[in-house]
Amino acid sequence: MRRIFASIAIMILSLCTYIQGRPTMQSPDLILMPYPAEVQIEPGVFRLSDDFRIAVEGAVTPRLERAIVRARQRLAGRTALFFTCNEISRDGLGEGQGLVVRCERAGRLVVNEDESYRLAVSAGGIRLEARTDIGGLHGLETLLQLLQADENGFFFPAVSIQDQPRFPWRGLLIDACRHWMPVDVILHNLDAMAAAKLNVLHWHLSEDQGFRVESKLFPKLHQLGSDGLYYTQEQIREIIGIAADRGIRVVPEFDMPGHATSWFVGYPHLASAAGPFKIERRYGVMDPVMDPTKETTYEFLEAFWREMTALFPDEYVHIGGDENNGKMWNANAEIQAFKQANNLADNHALQAYFNNRLYKILTRYQKKLVGWDEILHPDMPNNSVIHSWRGTQALVEAAQKGYMSILSNGYYIDLCQSAAFHYLNDPIPAGSQMTQDERKRVLGGEAAMWSEIATKETVDSRIWPRTLAIAERLWSPAERCDVDDMYRRMERISVQLEELGLLHLKNSAMMLRRLAAGQDPEAAQNLLEWLAPVQGYYRTDHTPYTSFSPFTRMVDAAPPESLPARRFARLVDAYLEERKPGDRDALLKVMDGWESNHDALVRLIKKAPALREVEPTSAILQQLGRAGREAVSYFGKKQKPTAAWSARQKELIAAAQKPNAELLIPVAGAMEKLFNAAAQ
């Protein structure tokens, strides 16, 4: 488990300044995410009809043609239009007939490839131009997001867009080891990544809990280290091909020397202590670690990387390198003697020795090494890439020392923090003293989806829609920081993502039906929308989870953040500021719902005992509703409540802020504000 240092709380508050009034910054009519670099809204619209046509010019690559076909299918699905022309024309289009796409060349799947595009929509037609077909893919995604409707049907608003990414490395890490992620999970997330203009799938493929790749040279890796849950090499090639078709690079991670228990089940001689070993079912930092002093270790890894670098074509591979607690090294007399004989001052120096041996192996196979920030050491060649997870200081230090770097600190989406938290976390924080050259060494960032408490059933809801906020931070101009506008757009785009097969919205209802044991789950659903999972590492710190634990409870069905609770908080602010009767009535309606829903939930629990753990939470929400009605009355009549009333509400808020069943009541803060306003 990767524990984020407390300094992230300070770092995340380095907020950028939102510049009001710029036409490129916001339009209430455009739901685009990531928002383009430059947008000019023009008069008019392009009306969509069943005779809509598409033509291509310039370099017509197979990747571009397939992307056009997919875009047209999605367009038909959204509009229910039966397009009469299903062919892509190479002879141009007449005035007002449709979309013309022009690209100059095929894009390469490399860092710093040109991903820019220009999109112009007018009543006379749509034109998309890009230097590469990858830029063309991005432009098609923007066009799909532009689609709107009115009483006359569907249309694209007239706009002129010039767009390009701010950072060249915009990734999503998916951990397929702690919990197995089948091929279909990877595939529909690739489609969603393309929609969000992300371009790197960082695939975490080995861990204490599982080795997930077929190895023909060392078959015991997957045969004994995976519980039979692994990707065949044929499946990996298929996934890499599908990713490439969407302009996405696939960077594999094989974690070493630590987080490697699954390796040792079949090949115990690699470890720094005698076996036998078994697949780890618990989570956390484990002791088993590779022996960096034996030549047989490097002989094995030489052959292993020869096989894997042939399988994964990207120029980068990730070696992990994090969270080696050194206990096995400290307990091994031969390893200690090796350190002394080679003037290695500590375990960090010993790991740098190991990493340098890996670097030489990977260089022979024309690969570049990426590792977590623990690999940062004076002995590491500075064309290695430092992946920062413990804090931005490592990223800054790496850039200052000449290393390329990537940020994931602040982008750990498994920790169930808000989209706003991630959105305001920048790879180059406001006020950074980095030089221009140092800033250029910051390649970008990655959302990190670790799977200790996520399964194939819940992983989509942990990734989406919040990763849209991270995608925008990595793509759009740094000054785009309006959180309210981000949420406005994110909620709309989240629904659009369902057409790609994502389960982030619908799986919650399925899980609640199961928890309701055949009963109507409405009361559980009504409660759940006002709850959110605990944040950070609370769950794994307080519950002895293993890979066999149930991840089917209310906390798992809950979205990482309650958007209704966020809207409620804004409603409270509006009412306290302006005392509008409409706002008051809306608040009362919500709070009445909390009160009445608890009784329905109690009846449901009698026949659905798996829900019993949330009954206390529901009771507190009911009490908040009753007290909230009283607070609105006091505030509206400008009557001061008794001291005893205020004291009771303080106790209620304290109870509401405590986790129960690993769930929080996010409206507690807004209710406290309401109670305080009434008391004053």
Token pair in block for residue 640: 């001061």
Q: How confident is the model at residue 94 (pLDDT cuts 50, 70, 90)?
A: confident
* For residues 310-336, average pLDDT: 98
* Residue 182: inside a domain: no
- Average confidence (pLDDT) over 658-674: 98
Q: What is the pLDDT of residues 624-638, one digit of tens each?
A: 999 999 999 999 999
Task: Render pLDDT for 343-402 as a digit per residue (tens, 0 to 9).
Answer: 999 999 999 999 999 999 999 999 999 999 999 999 999 999 999 999 888 899 999 999
Residue 40 neighbours by CB distance under 10 Å: 12
Q: Please check whether residues 110 and 140 belong to one and the same domain.
A: yes
Question: Is pLDDT larger for residue 16 or for residue 235?
Answer: 235
Residue 2 pLDDT class (50, 70, 90 cuts): very low
Average pLDDT, the chain: 94
Q: Let me know whether 302 and 391 are in one domain.
A: yes
State residue 393's pLDDT score: 86
Residue 147 binned pLDDT confidence (cut-offs 50, 70, 90):
very high
Give how many domains the chain has, as a whole number.
Answer: 3
Mean pLDDT, residues 118-139 taken together: 97
pLDDT at 15: 35
3-state percent breakdown (helix, strand, coil) of the chain, nearest 5: 45, 15, 40
Final residue of a domain: which of 429, 462, 494?
494
Please write the tens of the pLDDT for every residue from 575-612: 999 999 999 999 999 999 999 999 999 999 999 999 99
**With the C-alpha atoms ordered 451, 456, 461, 467, is the resulting torsion angle positive or negative?**
positive
- Domain of 84, CATH number, reads 3.30.379.10
Same domain assignment for residues 530 and 563: yes
Residues 357 and 334 reside in one and the same domain: yes
Decide if pLDDT at 241 tops 80.
yes
Residue 464 has a pLDDT of 98
pLDDT (0 to 100) of residue 430: 80
| Number of C-beta neighbours around residue 339 at 10 A | 20
Judge whether residue 432 has pLDDT over 90: no
Q: Clarify whether residues 445 and 519 are in a common domain.
A: no
- For residue 21, being part of any structural domain is answered with no
- Please check whether residues 66 and 88 belong to one and the same domain: yes
Per this entry, what is the length of the chain?
680
The pLDDT assigned to 442 comes to: 97
Q: Within a domain: residue 192?
A: no
Give the residue, 47 or 20, on which the prediction is more confident.
47
Residues 547 and 670 in one domain: yes
Query: Do residues 675 and 653 lie in contact, with contact meaning Cβ atoms separated by under 8 Å?
Result: yes
Active-site residue list: 323
Q: What is the pLDDT of residue 370?
A: 98
Which of 469, 494, 519 is a domain's end point? Answer: 494
Q: Summarize the confidence of residues 272-276 as an average pLDDT.
A: 95
Is the domain of 482 the same as that of 541?
no
* C-alpha distances out from residue 362 to 301, 302, 365, 565, Å: 10, 8, 5, 49
Given pLDDT bands bounded at 50, 70 and 90, which one contains residue 29?
A: confident
Q: With respect to residue 473, please indicate whether it lies within any of the assigned structural domains.
A: yes
- Point out the domain boundary residue: 163, 188, 215: 163
pLDDT tens for each residue of 173-212: 999 999 999 999 999 999 999 999 999 999 999 999 999 9
Does residue 373 sit in helix, strand or coil?
A: helix
In-domain check, residue 455? yes
* Mean pLDDT value of segment 27-53: 92
pLDDT value of position 152: 95
Q: Is residue 656 part of a domain?
A: yes
Domain that holds residue 640: 506-679
- Residue 239 CA to residue 235 CA, distance in Å, equals 6
- Residue 508's SS3 state is helix
444: left (phi over 0), alpha (psi -120 to 50) or beta: left
User: Residue 578 falls within a domain, yes or no?
Assistant: yes
Which residues 6+ apart lie within 8 Å of 190 measured at CB? 201, 239, 242, 243, 246, 248
| pLDDT score for 93 | 87
Which residue, among 14, 22, 88, has the nearest Cα to 57 in the 3D structure?
88
Same structural domain, 545 and 661: yes
**Mean pLDDT throughout 148-153?**
96
- Averaged over 147-155, what is the pLDDT? 96
Residue 188 belongs to some domain of the structure: no
Residue (of 61, 247, 34, 240) closest to 137 by Cα position: 247
* 510 and 487 co-located in one domain: no
Do 522 and 574 have their domain in common? yes
User: 651 and 585 in one domain?
Assistant: yes
